[in-house]
């Protein structure tokens, strides 16, 4: 059994190494030729990773993990939010009323709108509570013998932060299975700000972890999820799908694994109006040119 997982892990490492090295070498060529737009990779190469005693493979993984770490978790969070919006239409309605009032139909939301969209911000927080992208947090190894509330934890033990149990504690959250963004209307600050509160009970949620090993991409992740959710709800109506006059109830279970990813589910996504559709097409044309 031990050999099996080690062999599998080695194959994964070789596979990822090939991908990241190819991207790294291609980026180096573009930096050398001056044919690259400003980005983290460009700045990292120009900072000379060798000064940090990093070899080529380590440097490639350093930049490659930016893609891997943020892509899956953000995607999982957005899929879970789409599921929630399908199951709880009242949340979509309230969010769209706020968007119509603050943004209007002539343009999509921008980052500058964030402070004026408290319900959207609350909706994002509730999504991360309702379906945290990582159910049990990153595994940590205890470096020395320890005690916690009368329980002995020997050195080398693996400790996990059970976000799922924390987020669904009925003693803290009324009807925790329900998706209720209004829970967070009294938590207007960023998740990064609530990481530093003295009392853990004052945290908004634990989806980004706790202690010294919190998600290093918390600022990017929260802003990314916010702008995606705001624009999706501004542009589209999301509801349960109807086939032959019958409503299809979405599957609410998650796929097995480390990430909390919803199983494949059916839902209806349609433009809110022809005006919204027109703006979407124009935005696509602009983005397509930039890319």
What is the number of other CB atoms lying within 10 angstroms of the CB of residue 92?
Answer: 19
Backbone angles phi, psi at 246, to 5 degrees: -110, 135
Rounded to an integer, what distance in angstroms lies between the CA atom of residue 114 and that of residue 141? Answer: 38
Q: Map residue 186 onto helix, strand or coil.
A: coil
Token output for 169:
């504690």
Token output for 201:
């009970």
Structure-token match 């080695």, residue found: 10
Rounded to an integer, what distance in angstroms lies between the CA atom of residue 229 and that of residue 257? Answer: 25
3-state SS of 215-250? CCCHHHHHHHHHHHHHHHHHHEEEECEEECCEEECC
254 labelled ligand-binding: no
Q: Give 153's DSSP letter.
A: E
Token output for 39:
């980005």
Q: Which residue ranges are tagged as binding site for heme? A: 215
Q: Which residue ranges are tagged as binding site? A: 215
């Amino acid at each position: 059994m031990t050999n099996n997982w080690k062999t599998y892990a080695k194959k994964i490492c070789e596979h990822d190494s090939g991908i990241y090295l190819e991207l790294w070498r291609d980026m180096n060529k573009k930096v050398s030729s001056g044919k690259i737009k400003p980005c983290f990779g460009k700045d990292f190469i120009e900072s000379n990773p060798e000064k940090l005693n990093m070899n080529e493979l380590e440097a490639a993984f350093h930049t490659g993990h930016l893609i891997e770490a943020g892509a899956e978790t953000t995607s999982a969070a957005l899929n879970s939010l789409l599921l929630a919006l399908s199951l709880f239409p009242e949340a979509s309605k309230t969010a769209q009323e706020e968007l119509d009032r603050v943004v209007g139909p002539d343009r999509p939301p921008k980052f500058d709108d964030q402070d004026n969209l408290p319900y959207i911000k609350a909706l994002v927080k509730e999504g991360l509570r309702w379906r945290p992208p990582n159910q049990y947090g990153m595994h940590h190894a205890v470096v020395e013998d320890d005690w916690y509330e009368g329980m002995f934890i020997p050195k080398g033990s693996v400790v996990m932060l059970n976000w799922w149990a924390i987020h669904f504690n009925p003693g803290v959250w009324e009807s925790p299975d329900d998706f209720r963004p209004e829970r967070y209307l009294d938590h207007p600050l960023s998740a990064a700000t609530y990481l530093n509160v003295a009392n853990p009970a004052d945290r908004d949620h634990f989806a980004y972890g706790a202690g010294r090993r919190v998600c290093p991409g918390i600022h990017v992740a929260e802003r990314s999820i916010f702008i995606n959710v705001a624009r999706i709800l501004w542009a589209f109506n999301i509801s349960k799908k109807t086939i032959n006059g019958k409503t299809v109830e979405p599957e609410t279970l998650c796929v097995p694994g480390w990430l909390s990813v919803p199983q494949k589910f059916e839902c209806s996504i349609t433009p809110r109006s022809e005006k919204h559709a027109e703006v979407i097409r124009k935005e696509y044309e602009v983005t397509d040119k930039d890319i």
